[in-house]
Structure 1
Amino acid sequence: MPEMNTADYYVHPSSLVETTDIGAGTTVWAFVHLLPGVQVGKNCNICDHCFAEAGVVLGDNVTLKCGIYLWRGTTLEDDVFVGPNVVFTNDLHPRSKNKDFTLLPIVVRKGASLGANSTLLAGTTVGRYALVGSGAVVTHDVPDYALVYGNPARQRGWVDETGEKLLAAEPGLWRSADGQRIYRETSTGLTLDA
């Protein structure tokens, strides 16, 4: 681990960081460009060749692997993992020199993971602890704890907070592989059953 600078975060000398809103313990590696107005939480790891526009928000403990470009309106909540070369979009009708455009936000909720080379279309939300498989094309919202993959991405099961597949317990209930936790289906995905 490199030494932290006086602001308690590390920025590689080859990076261009134009924001000062970076939390303690964050590491920004080589050839990263963060524009003014980007918010980065604590203990994030931003790997080589990443870019973020003004208005991007990263929570605490976010990992961006290499080759990630985040556009205005993108929010990654705490503990989100983004695999290499994941694509984010913010315009459903892109045209060069278009003066009448509408940007739609993308939100990735707490603890979710996005597999390498997956694509998220503008206006989608990935639920808490969801897992998007490598190469998936997300065209609609992903429920909490859902496992999705394919093109277009379709739900193929449920996962727990560690990414392990859940097993059917009874209708509307799912259990962790170790049998220690039960999850209940809701209108927005799963919730941990108390």
Structure 2
Amino acid sequence: MHALVALGGNVMRAPGLDPAVFVHPQGVCESADVGVGTRVWAFAHVLDGARVGAGCNVCDGAFVEGGAVLGDRVTVKNQVMVFAGVTVADDVFLGPGVTFTNDLNPRAHVRHSVDELVPTWVDEGATLGARVTVVCGVTIGANAFVGAGAVVTRDVPAYAFVVGNPARQIGWACRCGRRLDPDLRCSCGRAWALDGDGLVESGALSCT
């Protein structure tokens, strides 16, 4: 484990951490594997062994465990918990209080190695709303939208709009984040079409 370095204002940063990574005076970043332009805010804690990409925003009270992976430009809002075995791709939004798990049979007296944890994958551009809970072992597809308070217990297709406990699909989401209408059109101007079990863009007007 790295010995933390306390700088002026009691900023706690791993030795070798790029100076272009901002760490709030009341934040802790034990990992040096953090990309340029990432910000770690007050009371957030990034453990040694975590990998965090460039341009991420790790907000107050968030926790990123060693063995967790965040891509580039990931938004990690307040009180998010990202544990070992979770991989989050680029441009993902994790709303306030999102919690991931990594053990299907947790017991306080049973210690699992990292290899025994159950992995979870969140694909690029996905949104997880406030207080979403993700039960480990699932894949959340690219640009999927998981509504606030949902409990994800199974895979979520790309572009799917899911809500509830357990989360169920009630529609589709545009790349801009808005829910598509029954004709698979978005108020942003994009049009979509079903292709097998998935969604493909059939009309390309830029979101505004």
TM-score, normalized by length of structure 2? 0.83
RMSD, aligned CA? 1.9
SS at match of 2:34: coil
- Higher mean displacement: 38-47 or 90-99: 90-99
Q: Counterpart of 1:183? A: 193
Does residue 28 of the first structure (1) align with residue 37 of the second (2)?
no
Question: Which of structure 1's runs of 4+ aligned residues deviate more than 6 A?
Answer: none
Deviation (angstroms), 1:146: 0.4
User: In structure 2, what is the Cα distance between the partners aligned to 1:59 and 1:99?
Assistant: 28
Task: Say whether the 8 Å CA contact 1:49–1:68 is kept in structure 2.
Answer: yes
Deviation (angstroms), 1:192: 2.6
User: In structure 2, what is the Cα distance between the partners aligned to 1:193 and 1:104?
Assistant: 36
Residue 15 of structure 1 aligns to which amino acid in structure 2? G
Q: Do the aligned partners of residues 66 and 43 (structure 1) sit closer, same or farther apart at CA in structure 2, a change above 3 Å counting?
A: same
1:6-17 alignment to 2 at 5 Å?
7-17=19-29
Deviation (angstroms), 1:162: 1.1
Deviation (angstroms), 1:178: 4.3
Give the aligned length.
Answer: 185
1:1-194 alignment to 2 at 5 Å?
7-99=19-111, 102-169=116-183, 174-187=184-197, 189-193=198-202
Residue 121 of structure 1 aligns to which amino acid in structure 2? V
SS at match of 1:175: coil
SS at match of 1:167: coil
Deviation digits for residues 54-77 of structure 1, max 9, x if unmatched?
111111110011101111111111
Q: Do the aligned partners of residues 11 and 179 (structure 1) sit closer, same or farther apart at CA in structure 2, a change above 3 Å counting?
A: closer
Task: Say whether the 8 Å CA contact 2:71–2:88 is kept in structure 1.
Answer: yes
User: In structure 1, what is the Cα distance between the partners aligned to 2:189 and 2:69?
Assistant: 36
Q: Tell me, which stretches of 5 or more residues in structure 1 are unaligned?
A: none
Q: Tell me, which stretches of 5 or more residues in structure 2 are unaligned?
A: 1-16, 204-208
Task: Say whether the 8 Å CA contact 1:127–1:142 is kept in structure 2.
Answer: yes
TM-score, normalized by length of structure 1? 0.88
Deviation digits for residues 19-52 of structure 1, max 9, x if unmatched?
1111111111011111111111111100011111
Task: Say whether the 8 Å CA contact 2:190–2:201 is kept in structure 1.
Answer: no
